[in-house]
Structure 1
């Protein structure tokens, strides 16, 4: 069907718009998947929880369902809690339950055209495998049910919210992390989709809160000022440093950092005990895996015992060409020894703030 009739077009002497044509028209409003398809997923709500019995509770949600590009999409929802029964726990091993939503369709061979929330139950095993789902189903959550479980809210049941999420076309699609982001891009290309400046994919990552866009091979952060990424030293045991030159304290890599001006700043908390230390604090940065550059600020630590916070912080504004940006904060030990505070989480920090394409 090279051309299909649109929504709300009056019937002529031949026919009106068919349900499939209407669903294909609606697909154009949803985030793309392939050349003419749409990404299925939740638009809102849908977090599955356990109950005091052998059932799962599914709250209100809106969802986009599809059986493939040729069938378009079904926009459906649920305005109140729905209970999805399952079986009691297995006698041995464990099994995997998948809670899903599906909209039946008599035109596709189903006995009705009703929506339903249901549970697919896997076989019990020492290494349980997930069950398969019927065509057009959207997975909402995945639960591992151990033999020790007494109900779906018991400690023997682990529920993972596994639903894909989707969005209106042209707005960022929520994804959990870089792996889900990259899987979306791969699935889009595998289904015949194309990427360009005028037809990009955009996502917003749960793990970073950053909007990223791809129009080709890589991902770049959303081009606006004020975006800040921070890396903080984790709490560890106190550690003495009495040798070495550049001592890294904390840092990390900003994946796909936008090209433009970034301000890098670092602060630290160190202390001495039994000896003084002569040296300098520094921040470092590197673009695309290259050799790091440094900005130093003199910081000598006296032999009086006690903790010394770096004040003011070390700071440097750089022009980044785009791509991965490594940042870090550390101390250059020239003479003497110092201690790294174990409980310095939140005190030893490096951050980068995107200022825009120009200053």
Structure 2
């Protein structure tokens, strides 16, 4: 590798597409290994892919960062509703369609330099499998198409939105839930916003003082009054729970504890109360999914399959 030409450049020969892609990658959120994170840039329609009264799919407007190779990106804009055709329903069983967008380059033997918005059709089967999509393609969504379908609005056609989100470098990446957040391993200090609970999280590592590598909530919350669960104007009034988290740890030394009664909205923080009678030095797991409205998880080093208990104070809303 060498230093690329600048973008823009005054070199009469211009800038090679590979250099352009590498430069643009610096504008997009990245993974821990430095590779860019492809995805859709928000805001975007709630349902990017939708059915219509034909054997085709509607794809809503979007702006995407795609990655034909993982060391660079391409920016793709779709500024209007587009129809993407698929095949008639299978004669038996069901199949899976995957709707995708792909930047293409003749230098990569893609057969074209035009962006492709298309459908990969899977094989019909009693338990259909998702078909592969071309190298560099970004999956937008997928649909199960039964033999009875006459349009993509027919009963039995199930469309699932699966496109990942991305963001400008240093920005907050949207994720749908804890599973999507856990699947992204970025550099320390990166942030993610969970659409399912409205909280923002920061990725921290042991190297910067975190108990373990993972996601930690950093959302400010409008806390609510006990009893009526109504926002308190101008005052942060928390709900507080105290008790003992007790039970038997699993084979990994983790105790998953549930509050006797869940917080109405969510849990902001949990503090474990150290006592001389407690063995095992319990630690609160902080991976972003171990603390929620229903409870939290603790890690007990060297105490797998053991009966344990620890007093706690939990703050929620």
Same topology, TM > 0.5: yes
CA positional deviation for 1:325: 4.8
Q: Which has the larger radius of gyration?
A: 1
Task: Trace 1:185-334 onto structure 2 (pairs within 5 A).
Answer: 185=185, 188=186, 195-196=187-188, 200-216=189-205, 217-222=213-218, 224=220, 226-228=221-223, 263-265=238-240, 283-284=241-242, 320=271, 323=286, 324-325=290-291
Q: 1 or 2, which has the higher strand percentage?
A: 1
Q: Give aligned pairs, total.
A: 251
Q: What per-residue deviation string (whole Å, max 9, x for no partner) do you get for residues 259-298 of structure 1?
A: xx98325xxxxxxxxxxxxxxxxx435689699999xxxx
Preserved CA contact (<8 Å) 1:286 1:292: no
Question: Judging changes above 3 Å, is the alpha-carbon distance between structure 1 residues 218 and 209 closer, same or farther for their aligned structure 2 residues?
Answer: same
Return 5+ residue gaps in structure 2 as ranges. Answer: 206-212, 228-235, 246-253, 261-267, 273-283, 296-313
Relative to the length of structure 1, the TM-score reads 0.62
- 3-state DSSP class of the match of 2:41? strand
Q: Are 1:99 and 1:142, in contact at CA under 8 Å, matched by a contact in 2?
A: yes
Cα gap change, 1:94 to 1:231, in 2 (>3 Å)? farther
Q: Which residue of 1 aligns with 2:60?
A: 59
RMSD between aligned alpha carbons? 3.4
| Per-residue CA distance 1:63-104 (angstroms, 9 max, x = gap) | 00002333x100011111111111111111100000111111
Residue ranges of structure 1 left out of the alignment (5+ in a row): 189-194, 233-260, 266-282, 295-316, 330-349, 354-359
| TM-score (normalizing by structure 2) | 0.70
* Cα deviation, residue 4, structure 1: 1.6
- Report the counterpart of residue 153 of structure 1 in structure 2: 153
Preserved CA contact (<8 Å) 1:40 1:66: yes
Q: Does the Cα contact within 8 Å between 1:51 and 1:153 map onto a contact in 2?
A: yes
Q: Deviations over 1:30-86 (max 9, x none)?
A: 01024332101111436111111111111111000002333x100011111111111
